[in-house]
Amino acid sequence: MYSFVFTSLLVLILIWKTFKLFKNKRNSGDFEGIDEELVIMLNKGDSNG
Amino acid sequence: MAKQAVRFSKKKRTKYRFQKLKMCKKCQRYSVLKDDTCPKCGTTFVGMEALVKSIFKSRLLTEAIWILIIVSIGIVAAPTVRTLYYSLISGLVFVVSYVVLTSIFIKSEYFIHLKKLLRVDLKKIAIGIQYDSELAKKDVKEDRLAPAYEKLREIGDFLYSDQMKIRRVMVLNDISLRSDMELELETLIPSSYDKDFVKYALEVLKINRTLITKKCIGYFINHRDAIVIDFGINSLLTVAGMTLRMKLYILEFSEFIEEFLDYFPKERVLRLCSILHANPEMEWGSLEEKTNRLVAMKYHYDPDFKRFSVGDEVVSHV
C-alpha cells in the first residue's frame, strides 16, 4: 500500500510537470515576438523625451 | 556655433534588442548603454541573457532540492526493507524522468522565463532607460556631443517617440557630419514637420545619397510647403534629383520629378534618360514624354544625349 501511494505521488508530480512544460511550450513564441512586445510596451508609456 | 568634429564608436549590434539590456544587481537598475559598469555604483552590469540563465538555474536548483526531499522522505519513511528498496527504485526512476523531461523542454522554459522577467521588470527597464536618457542630456549640457549621441542612438533602439528622434537630430545638427559615420535617416523621420530634421536630412543627403528612401522622399513631399518656406525651393530640387537614384522611386514619385525636371542639372537629366532608355517596357507615363521634350529642346545638340536619339527624334518608348 505504502509503495503504491508513494509511486502514485511521484507519477502525479511527473504528470503535473509534463503538463506545465507542454503548456509553456505552447505559449512560447519567438525572440522577435519578445522584442516587438518589449518595444511596444516601452513606447506605450514613453516619457523620456 | 561651430560644429563639433567628433568620431562615433561603432554601434553595438545584437540579434535581438533585448540582448542589449543589462542590469546592475546592486542598484537594481537596467541600462541599454554600452558601458560595462554602472555609472552610479561601479558594479559590473549583468546581461539580460545571463540574468535569465541565473534565475532559471536557481529555479532548477530549488526544484531539484524539493525532489530530493520528497524522494528521501519516501525512502526514510518506508515501513519495511522491501518497501524501502521499492521506494528507492521508484525515486530514482522519478529523478531520471524529471531530469530528462526538463532537459527536453529547456529552450521553451528559458524563453518563458525571459518573457516573464521582461514583463515583470518592464517598469524597472523604463526607469533605467529614463536614467540613460538623463545621462545623455547631461552630456549634451556639458558639450560632449559624441557620447551623448551614442547614448541616444542606443536608447533610440527602444524608444521611437518623436521627442527622442528630435533630440538625436538636434545633437547631430551640432556635429560636423562625415561620410564615414554610421548615419541614419529613415529611423529619425518624425511623424510631423520638424525644421531640425529637415536641416539634418539635407545635410546627410549631401554626404550619403544612399540614405534617401521612399519614406524620406514622402516626408519631403508631404511637408513641401513648410520646407520651401524654411529652406527654399532648392532643397526640394535636391530631393527630387535624388529620387532618380532608383527606378522604383522614379515610378512612385514621377509627378514630383516632373515638377522639377526643367531645373535639373544636365547630369540628372542624363541619368533619368538612361533609366528611361534602359527600361522601355515600363509605363513611365507623362514623365517620359516631358523628358523627351526637354532633351529635344535643351540638349538637342549635346553629344552625351546622342545615344538616346534616332536622327533628330528623341527615342520614345511608348
B133–A25 CB contact, under 8 Å: no
The answer, yes or no, to whether residue B315 has pLDDT greater than 70, is no
Chain A nearest-CA distance from B65, in A, is 14
- For B5-32, what is the HEC assignment? CCCCCCCCCCCCHHHHCEEECCCCEEEC
What phi and psi values does residue B291 have, to the nearest 5 degrees?
Answer: -65, -45
Pairing of strands B22-24, B46-47: antiparallel
Contact B79 A2 (CB under 8 A): yes
Please give, rounded to a whole number of angstroms, the shortest distance from the CA of B79 to a CA of chain A: 8
Alpha-carbon distance of B70 to B128, in angstroms, equals 42
Enumerate the residues of chain B whose CB falls inside 8 A of the CB of residue A49.
161-164, 166-167
| Cβ contact B115–A45 (<8 Å) | no
- Distance from the Cα of A12 to chain B's closest Cα (Å) equals 11
Q: Do B70 and A10 touch (CB under 8 A)?
A: yes
Contact A49 B158 (CB under 8 A): no
pLDDT tens across B133-177, in order?
999 999 999 989 999 999 999 999 999 899 999 999 999 999 998
β-strand partners of B44: B37
Residues of chain A with C-beta less than 8 angstroms from the C-beta of B66: none
pLDDT band at B228 (very low <50, low <70, confident <90, very high): very high
In chain A, what's the furthest Cα-to-Cα distance? 68
Residues 17-46 of A with CB under 8 A from B: 17-18, 21-22, 24-25, 27-29, 31-32, 34-35, 37-39, 41-43, 45-46
Q: Considering only residues B215 and B281, tell me which one the structure prediction assigns the higher pLDDT.
A: B215
- Residue B15 to residue B23: CA distance in whole angstroms: 19
- Note whether A13 contacts B70, CB cutoff 8 Å: yes
CA distance A41 to B12: 23
> B215: distance to nearest CA of chain A, Å?
21
pLDDT band at residue B1 under the 50/70/90 scheme: low
Question: Of B86-90, B97-101, B221-225, which one has max mean pLDDT?
Answer: B221-225
- Could you count the other beta carbons within 10 Å of the beta carbon of residue B241? 22
Decide if A5 touches B, using CB distance below 8 A.
no
Q: Tell which B residues from 52 to 91 touch A, by Cβ distance under 8 Å.
A: 70-71, 74, 77-79, 83, 86-87, 90-91
Q: Compute how many other C-beta atoms are within 10 angstroms of the C-beta atom of residue B188.
A: 22
- Cell readout for B49 is 541573457
B218 Cβ under 8 Å from any chain A Cβ: no
Q: Please compute the mean of the pLDDT values over residues B270-284 and round it to a whole number.
A: 86
pLDDT range class, residue B187, cuts 50, 70, 90: very high
> Is residue B252 a contact partner of residue B282, using CB atoms and an 8 Å limit?
no
Closest chain A residue by Cα to residue B83:
A3
Q: Do B114 and A34 touch (CB under 8 A)?
A: yes
Q: Is the pTM of this model over 0.90?
A: no
ipTM: 0.82
Residues of B whose CB is below 8 A from A24: 105, 108-109, 112
Q: What are B140's three cell numbers?
A: 549634451
Which residues 4-43 on chain B approach chain A with CB closer than 8 angstroms? 15-18
User: How many C-alpha atoms does A38 have within 13 Å on its Cβ side?
Assistant: 27
Residue A34 to residue B118, Cβ atoms within 8 A: yes
Calpha distance B226→B220 (Å, rounded): 9
Candidates A1, A5, A6: best to mutate against B (most CBs of B within 10 A) is A6
pLDDT of B317 strictly over 60: no
CB B287 within 8 A of CB B262: no
> How large a percentage of chain B has pLDDT more than 70?
97
Query: What is the bridge-based pairing of β-strands B22-24 and B29-31?
Result: antiparallel
How close B45 comes to chain A (CA, Å)? Answer: 20
Confidence of residue B309 (pLDDT cuts 50, 70, 90): low
Structural element, H or E, at residue B313 = strand B313-314
What's the number of CA atoms in the CB half-sphere (13 Å) around residue B249? 19
Give the pLDDT confidence of A5-45 residue by residue, as tens digits: 888 888 898 899 899 888 888 887 788 888 888 888 888 86
- The DSSP-derived string for A1-49 is -HHHHHHHHHHHHHHHHHHHHHHHHHH---HHHHHHHHHHHHHHT----
What pLDDT digit, counting tens, does each position of B25-76 carry?
898 899 999 888 988 888 899 999 899 999 988 988 898 888 889 888 888 8
pLDDT higher than threshold 70 for residue B125: yes
CA atoms of B102 and B193, how far apart (whole Å): 54
Reported as a pLDDT band with limits 50, 70 and 90, residue B313 is very low
Alpha helices in B77-144 (DSSP H): 81-104, 106-120, 122-141
A46 to B161: CB separation less than 8 angstroms, yes or no: yes
Please tell me the distance from the alpha carbon of residue B53 to that of residue B84, in angstroms, as a whole number: 37
